[in-house]
Chains A and B, each alone.
Chain A
Amino acid sequence: MATPAPHNNIPVVQFSRVSKTFGDFRAVDNISFEIHRGEFFSMLGPSGCGKTTTLRLLAGFEEPDEDGGEVRLLGEMVNKKRPYERQISMVFQNYALFPHLSVERNVSFGLEQRKTPKGEIGERVRRALGMVRLKPEQFAQRMPAQLSGGQRQRVALARALVLEPTILLLDEPLGAIDLKLRKEMQLELKTLNKQLGITFVYVTHDQEEALTMSDRIAVMDHARVAQLGTPAEIYEHPRTGFVAKFIGESNFFEGRADARNGGHWTVRRADGGVFHVVDHPSLAPGKQVRISIRPECMDVWKPDAVPPGENAVEGTIRDVIYLGETMHLIVTLPGNEEVTIAVRNEGQLIKPLPWKRGDTAAVAWLPEDCQILEDD
Chain B
Amino acid sequence: MSPSAVALSVIFAIVGIGSGIGFYAGARYKMDLEQWAVAGRGFGLLLVWLLMAGEIYTTFSFLGASGWAYSQGGPTLYILAYLTLGYVVSFYILPPIWEVGRKYRLQTQSDFFQCRYGSKYLAALVALVGVIFLIPYLQLQLTGLGIIVEVASFEGIGRTPAMLLAFALVAGFVWFSGVRAVAWVSVLKDLLLLCAAVTIGVEVPRIYFGGIGPMFAALARAKPAHLTMPGATANQGHAWFISTVLLTSFGFYMWPQAMRSSFTAKSGDTLRRNSVLLPLYTITLPLIFFVGFAAILIVPGLKNGDLSLLTVVRQTFPAWFLGLIGGAGALTAMVPAAMQILTAATLFAKNLYRPIFAPSMTDAQVGRLARMMVLVITAIALYFAIYSSTTLVALLLLGYAGVTQFFPGVVLGLFSRRVTTAGVFSGMAVGVVAAALFMLSKHDPLFGLNAGFVALCLNFLVVGVVSLLTSGQTSPFAETAPQPE
**B is a partner of A:** no
Residues of B at under 8 Å CB distance from A? none
Residues of A at under 8 Å CB distance from B? none
